[in-house]
Structure 1
Amino acid sequence: MDRFALSVRVVHQVTAALFVVCIVAAACLYVGPLAEAVGRRPLVAAVHEWAGVLLPVPLLVGLFSRALRADLRRIDRFTDADRRWFRGAPRRGRQAGKFNAGQKLYAAWIAGAVVVMVGTGLLLWFRFALPWIPRASVLFVHDLGAFSIVLAVAGHVRHAYADPEAWRGMRTGKVSPAWAREEHGAWFSEVARGPRP
């Protein structure tokens, strides 16, 4: 059964690629042995800066997609089933809509983190700090945000690999009805009923 439209998958994959470029370039700037092995610090810094500035672009372009806007509306609303999911209710997957509460929370957190990272990154890129905010403070927030994003993205990827069917859903756009019924039961029922007249 169809889970993600092509436009949603492209936005996800391009954003993921930009994240990887940002993280790898940052590692080449901050980790001594990597920095020495790669060299060319100005080029690596430019790649990091441009990948970071471009992070919101796939989502902004993707807003032209009806499917992406529909998914964003689903992510933006917490339901009673989401509250039960957080409490760890038995068979919580069967109550979940297209996105469970954990996915919604992760999406909201990563969106906010990207805004903070792009904002602090721009301040650092242009060597500008507001008079009442020292540059060291901006760098601290940027670095702390980067470490938290690396941890969150690593958890996200680990969780995706642990569920091959979810991974297949993002790669191909399709999942099995049995998986959908078990993991996102409310969404499965909604799709099975078909569109409302």
Structure 2
Amino acid sequence: MNKTILRYTSNQRTNHWLVAILFLMAGLSGLALFHPAMFWLTNLFGGGPWTRILHPFMGVLMFVFFLGLVFSFWRANFFIGNDRLWLKRINRVMANNEEEVPPVGKYNAGQKLLFWTLLLCMLVLLFSGLVIWRAYFSEYFGITSLRWAMLLHALAGFVLILSIIVHIYAGIWIKGSVSAMMHGWVSRAWAKKHHELWYRQVTQDAPRDDTPERPITKKG
């Protein structure tokens, strides 16, 4: 019996890492343009003018590749009943005591919240970025619209950066998560421990009749 399960295909992994690289480049160039104290980061992109030219193109590319992830994973990120209970018991998850936590699908509630937060931030960054893209679109908008777009762009960028930091921390904290995105495979034990409903779905491995399922409605 195969002891590993495919979690991410090669296309999905490539897509993910392209988004990660573009996020890093767009984030650094955006920070360089955000405040004079970080203007030195423009040296990474050939100076101020090149940073201003490249930043919006990198942002658009990041959004396009991110859409590939959205199309791949959006169905798995719809919330189910167990997600609410999972959030109520997140302290047990943090304590690595998942025996009394409701089983979840391919993604837990925290991952789903992150997914929709990233999508919202990406949309705000895209449309606000188009408004303030001086070379092509900003001339069609008034000063008030430009100011609001700049504010929204900065706020969405800030939330996106914080969300990615949480994403990286969680990926490192849950041993096996980074390896899954590097190589695509996870062990059956890992899948059953962290994403039991998904494990059952892909392995057709139903709970034994003499083994009660973990409670999903227990209070506390």
Please confirm whether the aligned pair reaches a TM-score higher than 0.5, indicating the same fold. yes
The answer for unaligned runs of 5 or more in structure 1 is: none
Within the candidate set 5, 20, 25, 1:21 is matched to 25
SS at match of 1:134: helix
In the alignment, which of 69, 72, 75 is matched to residue 73 of structure 1?
Answer: 75
Identity percentage of aligned residues: 26
Aligned length: 188
Find the counterpart in structure 2 of residue 55 from structure 1: 62
Kindly provide the amino acid, as one letter, of the partner of residue 119 in structure 1: F
Is the alpha carbon distance of 1:72 and 1:134 closer, same or farther for their aligned partners in structure 2, counting shifts above 3 Å?
closer
Which secondary structure does the structure 2 equivalent of 1:175 belong to? Answer: strand
2:200 and 2:102 map into 1 onto residues whose CA distance is: 10
| 1:178 aligned onto 2:189 | yes
Deviation at 1:36, TM superposition (A): 4.0
Write the deviation string for residues 43-95 of structure 1: whole angstroms up to 9, x where unpaired.
011221111111222244568xxxx63x32111x2111112112217636660
Q: Tell me the equivalent position of 1:30.
A: 34
In structure 2, relative to structure 1, the CA distance for the partners of 1:24 and 1:188 (3 Å cut) is: same
Unaligned ranges ≥5, structure 2 = 93-97, 206-220
- TM-score normalized by structure 1? 0.85
Which of the two has greater helix per residue? 1
Q: Which residue of 1 aligns with 2:217?
A: none
**In the alignment, residue 85 of structure 1 is paired with which amino acid?**
W
Q: Taking structure 1 as reference, are residues 102 and 169 closer, same or farther at Cα in structure 2, changes over 3 Å only?
A: same
Indicate the SS of the match to 1:99: coil
What amino acid is aligned across from residue 107 of structure 2 in structure 1?
F
- Where in structure 2 are the equivalents of 1:134-153 lying within 5 Å? 134-153=145-164
Q: Of 109, 125, 138, which residue of structure 2 is paired with 1:101?
A: 109
CA shift at 1:10, angstroms? Answer: 1.5
Report the RMSD for the aligned CA atoms in angstroms: 2.3
